[in-house]
Amino acid sequence: MSALQIRNLQHKYALTEVLSNINLDLAAGETLALVGPSGCGKSTLLHIIAGLLTPSEAVIKNDFRGTACMFQEPRLLPWKTAEDNITLGLKALHVPKQACRQQAQNIAKTLGLTADDLNKYPHELSGGMQSRIALGRALIIKPDLLLLDEPFSALDIGLKLELYRLLRQHITERGSSVLMITHDLMEAVRLADRIVMMIPEPGRLIGEFTLQQSHAERSETWIYQTTAKLMANDRIRIGFGLAEGSLNLTEHLHTQHSGCSI
Amino acid sequence: MNRLRNLLPNTLSYLWSGWGALASLLLFCAVWELVGEYYGDLILPGPLEVIGQLKLMFNSGIAGPELIISGRRTLYGLFLALAVGSLLGMLAGFSMTTSMLARPLITLLLGMPPIAWLVLAMLWFGLGDATPVFTVFIACLPIVFAGAMQGTRTLDNHLKAVAQVYRLPWHMRLTDIYLPHLASYLFPAWITALGTSWKVVVMAELLSTSDGVGAALAVSRAQLDTSTTLAWVVAVLGVLLATEYLLLEPIKRHLERWRVGVSQ
B136-177 pLDDT per residue, tens? 999 999 999 999 998 888 888 888 888 888 888 888 888 888
Give the residue numbers spanning the domain of A110: 75-142
Question: Mind telling me how many Å the CA of A119 is from chain B's nearest CA?
Answer: 8
Residue of B nearest to A79 (CA): B258
Give CA–CA dist B244/B250, Å, rounded. Answer: 9
Q: Give yes or no: residues A233 and A248 share one domain.
A: yes
Considering CB atoms only, which of B161, B165, B176 is closest to A77?
A: B176
pLDDT range class, residue B5, cuts 50, 70, 90 = low
Give the strand order in the sheet containing A2-13: A16-27, A2-13, A57-62
Question: Mind telling me how many Å the CA of A258 is from chain B's nearest CA?
Answer: 32
B197-227 pLDDT per residue, tens? 988 888 888 888 788 888 888 888 888 878 8
Give CA–CA dist B184/B180, Å, rounded. Answer: 7
Residue of A nearest to B167 (CA): A92
- Whole-number pLDDT of residue B188: 87
Give CA–CA dist B142/B149, Å, rounded. Answer: 10
pLDDT range class, residue B180, cuts 50, 70, 90 = confident
Residue of B nearest to A80 (CA): B258
B82-118 pLDDT per residue, tens? 999 999 998 888 888 888 888 888 888 888 888 888 8
End-to-end Cα spacing for chain A: 23
Concatenated DSSP letters of chain B: -HHHHHHHHHHHHHHHHHHHHHHHHHHHHHHHHHHHHHH-TTT---HHHHHHHHHHHHHTTSHHHHHHHHHHHHHHHHHHHHHHHHHHHHHHHH-HHHHHHHHHHHHHHHHS-HHHHHHHHHHHH-SSTHHHHHHHHHHHHHHHHHHHHHHHHTS-HHHHHHHHHTT--HHHIIIIIIHHHHHHHHHHHHHHHHHHHHHHHHHHHHHH-SSSHHHHHHHHHHTT-HHHHHHHHHHHHHHHHHIIIIIIHHHHHHHTTTSTTTT-
Q: Give yes or no: residues A59 and A80 share one domain.
A: no
Q: Report the C-alpha dihedral over residues A136, A142, A146, A148, rounded to 10 degrees.
A: 0
User: What's the per-residue H, E or C state across chain A?
Assistant: CEEEEEEEEEEEECCEEEEEEEEEEEECCCEEEEECCCCCCHHHHHHHHHCCCCCCEEEEEECCCCEEEECCCCCCCCCCCHHHHHCHHHHHCCCCHHHHHHHHHHHHHHHCCCHHHHCCCHHHCCHHHHHHHHHHHHHCCCCCEEEEECCCCCCCHHHHHHHHHHHHHHHHHHCCEEEEEECCHHHHHHHCCEEEEEECCCEEEEEEEECCCCHHHCCHHHHHHHHHHHHHCHHHHHHCCCCCCCCCHHHHCCCCCCCCEC
pLDDT above 80: residue B8: no
- The better pLDDT of the pair A215, B61 is held by B61
Q: Give yes or no: residues A222 and A256 share one domain.
A: yes
Enumerate residues 29 to 58 of chain B having a beta carbon within 8 A of any beta carbon in chain A. none
Q: Give yes or no: residues A227 and A115 share one domain.
A: no
What residues of A are in the B interface, CB distance below 8 Å? 47, 50-52, 67-69, 71, 73, 75, 77-80, 88-89, 91-92, 119, 121-123, 137, 141, 147
Burial tier of A168 (Cβ tally within 10 Å: 0-12, 13-18, 19+): middle
Which of B4, B162, B253 to mutate to test binding with chain A, by most A CBs within 10 Å of its CB?
B162
Which of A71, A77, A145 to mutate to test binding with chain B, by most B CBs within 10 Å of its CB?
A77
Q: Give yes or no: residues A136 and A151 share one domain.
A: no
- Across-strand partners of B37? none
- Whole-number pLDDT of residue A243: 67
Q: Which of A18, A71, A63, A21 is nearest to A44 (CA)?
A: A18
Residue A33 near residue A196, CB atoms below 8 Å? yes
Question: Mind telling me how many Å the CA of B161 is from chain A's nearest CA?
Answer: 7
On chain A, the residues whose CB falls within 8 A of the CB of B260 are 123
Question: Mind telling me how many Å the CA of B83 is from chain A's nearest CA?
Answer: 23
Considering CB atoms only, which of B2, B158, B177 is closest to A71?
A: B158
Question: Mind telling me how many Å the CA of A236 is from chain B's nearest CA?
Answer: 31
Exposure string of B75-107, with b = 16+ CB inside 10 Å and e = fewer, is: ebbbebbbeebbebbbebbeeeeebeebeeebe
Considering CB atoms only, which of B2, B167, B181 is closest to A92?
A: B167
- Whole-number pLDDT of residue A258: 42
User: Greatest CA separation found in chain B?
Assistant: 70
Question: Mind telling me how many Å the CA of A98 is from chain B's nearest CA?
Answer: 16
Tens of pLDDT along chain A (262 residues) come to: 458 888 887 787 877 777 878 788 888 888 888 888 777 888 888 888 888 888 887 777 877 788 888 888 888 888 888 888 998 888 888 888 888 888 888 888 888 888 888 888 888 888 888 888 888 888 888 888 888 888 887 778 878 888 888 888 888 888 888 899 988 888 888 888 888 888 777 877 777 778 777 777 778 788 887 887 777 777 777 777 776 666 665 444 444 444 444 4
- Whole-number pLDDT of residue A256: 41
Considering CB atoms only, which of B158, B166, B260 is closest to A73?
A: B158
Give CA–CA dist B235/B239, Å, rounded. Answer: 6
- The last residue of one of the domains, among A101, A117, A142, is A142
Residue A33 near residue A207, CB atoms below 8 Å? no
Are B172 and A92 inside 8 Å of each other by CB? yes
Q: Give yes or no: residues A185 and A259 share one domain.
A: yes
Domain count, chain A: 2
On chain A, the residues whose CB falls within 8 A of the CB of B164 are 50-52
| Residue B207 belongs to a domain | no
Are A52 and B164 inside 8 Å of each other by CB? yes
- Cβ neighbours of residue A14 under 8 Å, at least 6 residues apart? none
Considering CB atoms only, which of B159, B256, B259 is closest to A77?
A: B159
pLDDT above 90: residue B31: yes
What is the rounded average pLDDT for all residues in chain B?
85
Are A92 and B2 inside 8 Å of each other by CB? no
Residue A62 near residue A3, CB atoms below 8 Å? yes
Give CA–CA dist B135/B125, Å, rounded. Answer: 11
- Whole-number pLDDT of residue B263: 42
Considering CB atoms only, which of B158, B166, B256 is closest to A88?
A: B166
- The last residue of one of the domains, among A87, A120, A142, is A142
Q: Give yes or no: residues A61 and A164 share one domain.
A: yes
Domain count, chain B: 1
| Residue B121 belongs to a domain | yes
Q: Give yes or no: residues A99 and A229 share one domain.
A: no
HSE value, Cβ hemisphere, 13 Å, CA-based, for B43: 9
Give the residue numbers spanning the domain of B111: 68-201
Considering CB atoms only, which of B158, B172, B258 is closest to A75?
A: B158
- The last residue of one of the domains, among A142, A164, A192, is A142
Q: Say if the ipTM goes beyond 0.90.
A: no
Are A67 and B180 inside 8 Å of each other by CB? no
Give CA–CA dist A125/A64, Å, rounded. Answer: 33
Report helix angle B130-153 to B114-125, nearest 10: 130
Considering CB atoms only, which of B161, B166, B180 is closest to A92?
A: B166
Give CA–CA dist A64/A177, Å, rounded. Answer: 9
End-to-end Cα spacing for chain B: 22
Instruction: Average the pLDDT over each of A227-231, A241-245, B16-20, B36-40 and give the range with the smallest value.
Output: A241-245
Are A78 and B258 inside 8 Å of each other by CB? yes
- Whole-number pLDDT of residue A257: 41
Q: Is B170 on the interface with A (CB under 8 A)?
A: no
Give the strand order in the sheet containing A177-182: A67-70, A145-149, A177-182, A31-35, A194-199, A204-210
Q: How many CB atoms lie within 10 A of CB B189?
A: 24
pLDDT range class, residue B10, cuts 50, 70, 90 = confident
Q: Give yes or no: residues A136 and A149 share one domain.
A: no
| Residue B152 belongs to a domain | yes
CATH code of residue B173 = 1.10.3720.10
Residue of B nearest to A115 (CA): B2
Burial tier of B131 (Cβ tally within 10 Å: 0-12, 13-18, 19+): buried
pLDDT range class, residue B264, cuts 50, 70, 90 = very low
On chain B, the residues whose CB falls within 8 A of the CB of A68 are 165-166
